[in-house]
Amino acid sequence: MCGIFGIVGSKRKELGRTLLKGIKRLEYRGYDSVGMAALDKGKIKVKKAAGAVDKADKKLNFSELKGHIGITHSRWSTHGGVTDFNAHPHQSCDKNITIVHNGIIENYEEIKSDLIKKGHKFRSETDSEVIAHYFEEKIKQKPIKQACVDFLKEIEGTFAVLMMKNDEEKIYALKRDSPLVLGICEEYNILGSDIYAFSDRTDKAVFFDNDEFAVIEKDKYQFYDTKGKKITKKIQTFVWEQEESLKEKYPHFMIKEIMEEPRVVKRLLMSLKTDQKDNFNKFIDMIIKAEKVIFAASGTSYHAALLGVYYFHRCSDVCGIEAQALIASEFEHFANVDSNTLVIAVSQSGETMDVIEALKFAKKRKAKIASMVNVPYSSIQRMSDISLQVLAGQEICVAATKSFVNQVTLLLSIAKEFGFKINLDTLSERIEEMLAKKDEIKKIAKKIYKNKDLYVLGRGLSYPVAREVALKIKEISYIHAEGMMGGELKHGTIALIEKGTPVISLISNKDYDMLSNTKEVEARGAKIIKVTNEFDGDIKINTSNDGKFGVLAAIFGQLLTYYMALELNLPVDKPRNLAKSVTVK
């Protein structure tokens, strides 16, 4: 969470515009506030305000910032409210040091009280501000590089920090656990939270590893380890499809990304037969060799993983793959991991801190690590023994849609190798047919968007989908929704069903138990929306295959959510309080 971006070597008059463009590309990481600092003629000028980039820019006109060096930040608040003061950059008392930070300084209170005793005055409620004062204090006694070494030793927590000094044409960059990457361009160097920050400018990147710092200049850079010893890093060349970051003819990224689903599914399936074939086979081999598979994932990716477990267990009539899915933030409390376990991380961003922590825990216990990630070169991909790409392309709307569809397609492709019966060649066509039902779904949205609560019921494969549909409705339409096991409702929650409460029921094939659960709530006055491939229903799903039903029912939920949010006039792509990449625990 939080996006950071910096440039060394900009053309003087272009600095503000470049910073603006860079931070807009990272805004999906947080949009509570935005700020910039530009070094021009030995003086650092800072502009910052609460609100998303466009709003803050109208107020402050970032483009007028000049200079050759600048840093910028878009915030997802952790310590301190959404205010102008808490926006980054933060400065030292003498204004010689200016920083932006993504992460959490865990021992900030201790450091802050020590600095206050030494006379430092703090202007914000953030943990991040201590960084500026810390360096101000340190460089009174030692060179800044030595202060960076001390920082890595003394600071607890997570950080990607960019730091400027009034009297140096350089950016100092430090990283632990929060993502940071250097983009190498011909006439300048760029730093960003991920490669999206600069993928329109270069395809050459150097990824920071944990507990490293670097000094970046216009035409050179140097990385250092925890002892301040120089290290040589590999330059990676990455491939990026530029057109995907544009909204094109669509009013929102969410609907654009949903409409891309048939295409990205085809692309993924093709890659598994070509570019990713070797890796795919190795992945299968690792599953064969493991005694059990445990998925680690969060949010929507967890729902994909849960579906994966269902499909993995049904790979053969006798016994499928031994698999379990755990929510990453609880992984270490519930996982029983050893060297015969294969832990599979499922993550769109590849940066989710809870998943990274789960993988660290698994690594310590000698488990093998595999992953399925959408953002290439992400931390999770780089810490895996093997990784498959989800290939959904850049997803800009905060809610995951096409990445979920491709995660599930990838899991189905693996399950198929072990005997799960499905013809994936027609999946893309079935998705097209589902998307063509958008007007029917819009009508349902118009009927239920005013409700305060609703329930989504599923059983077996439709249970993870029910959870996913409910999550989409909550985060984008701000309607309280619960995704439940149909059989569990009668054990308590049914007390909440009143006359007119909408209940979406997902019934795949001849699931008579699910049908009975639906009748039970209908008898208590619920307004039923039946999504089924077998019975009479409000939305008919055109497949008899359980694997495809899961994908198509989830797409129904994505469209329903989108149209409800439109009725409610909500900020579809940037829902309140959320961020696309969750890099805090």
In the complex with ligand F6R, the residue whose CB is nearer, 47 or 472, is: 472
348 binding ligand F6R? (CB under 6 A): yes
352 binding ligand F6R? (CB under 6 A): yes
Instruction: Kindly state the smallest distance separating residue 561's Cβ from ligand F6R, in Å.
Output: 9
- Position with the least CB separation from ligand F6R: 299
DSSP 3-state assignment of 390? coil
400 binding ligand F6R? (CB under 6 A): yes
Instruction: Kindly state the smallest distance separating residue 283's Cβ from ligand F6R, in Å.
Output: 18
CA distance to 137, 303, 307, 319, 528, per residue, from 459 (Å): 60, 14, 11, 20, 16
In the complex with ligand F6R, the residue whose CB is nearer, 271 or 581, is: 581
Taking the C-alpha atoms of residue 390 and residue 136, their distance in angstroms, rounded to an integer, is 44
Instruction: Kindly state the smallest distance separating residue 352's Cβ from ligand F6R, in Å.
Output: 3
Instruction: Kindly state the smallest distance separating residue 348's Cβ from ligand F6R, in Å.
Output: 3
1 binding ligand F6R? (CB under 6 A): no
Query: Of the candidates 35, 51, 299, 547, which one interacts with ligand F6R according to CB under 6 A?
Result: 299
126 binding ligand F6R? (CB under 6 A): no
Number of residues that bind ligand F6R (CB under 6 A): 14
The tokens describing 430, both together, are 């079935």
Part of the chain binding ligand F6R (CB under 6 A), chosen from 233-241, 258-266, 281-289, 341-349 = 341-349
Taking the C-alpha atoms of residue 296 and residue 343, their distance in angstroms, rounded to an integer, is 7
In the complex with ligand F6R, the residue whose CB is nearer, 265 or 304, is: 304
Instruction: Kindly state the smallest distance separating residue 371's Cβ from ligand F6R, in Å.
Output: 10
Residues catalogued as catalytic: 2, 580
Instruction: Kindly state the smallest distance separating residue 355's Cβ from ligand F6R, in Å.
Output: 6
Sheet containing 181-184, strands listed edge to edge, beginning at the edge strand earlier in sequence: 43-50, 33-40, 69-75, 3-8, 189-192, 181-184, 204-207, 236-237
Query: Of the candidates 86, 298, 409, 532, which one interacts with ligand F6R according to CB under 6 A?
Result: 298
Query: Of the candidates 300, 384, 508, 517, which one interacts with ligand F6R according to CB under 6 A?
Result: 300
Taking the C-alpha atoms of residue 554 and residue 540, their distance in angstroms, rounded to an integer, is 13
> Measured at the alpha carbon of residue 146, what is the angle toward residues 141 and 150, in degrees to the nearest 5?
95
> How many CA atoms, within 13 angstroms, populate the side-chain half-sphere of residue 319?
3
Query: Of the candidates 276, 349, 501, 508, which one interacts with ligand F6R according to CB under 6 A?
Result: 349
Letters for 446-485 (x = contact with ligand F6R by CB under 6 A, - = none) are -------------------------x---x----------
> Measured at the alpha carbon of residue 17, what is the angle toward residues 16 and 21, in degrees to the nearest 5?
120
Part of the chain binding ligand F6R (CB under 6 A), chosen from 222-230, 292-300, 307-315, 411-419 = 292-300
CA distance to 149, 323, 427, 552, 570, per residue, from 546 (Å): 55, 18, 12, 10, 33
> Measured at the alpha carbon of residue 68, what is the angle toward residues 203 and 246, in degrees to the nearest 5?
40
DSSP 3-state assignment of 209? coil
> Measured at the alpha carbon of residue 106, what is the angle toward residues 105 and 110, in degrees to the nearest 5?
100
The tokens describing 411, both together, are 């899991």
Taking the C-alpha atoms of residue 73 and residue 443, their distance in angstroms, rounded to an integer, is 41
Query: Of the candidates 86, 189, 271, 301, which one interacts with ligand F6R according to CB under 6 A?
Result: 301
**Helix or strand (DSSP H, E) at 184:** strand 181-184
51 binding ligand F6R? (CB under 6 A): no
In the complex with ligand F6R, the residue whose CB is nearer, 60 or 397, is: 397
Residues of this chain that bind ligand F6R (CB under 6 A): 298-301, 347-349, 352, 355, 399-400, 471, 475, 582
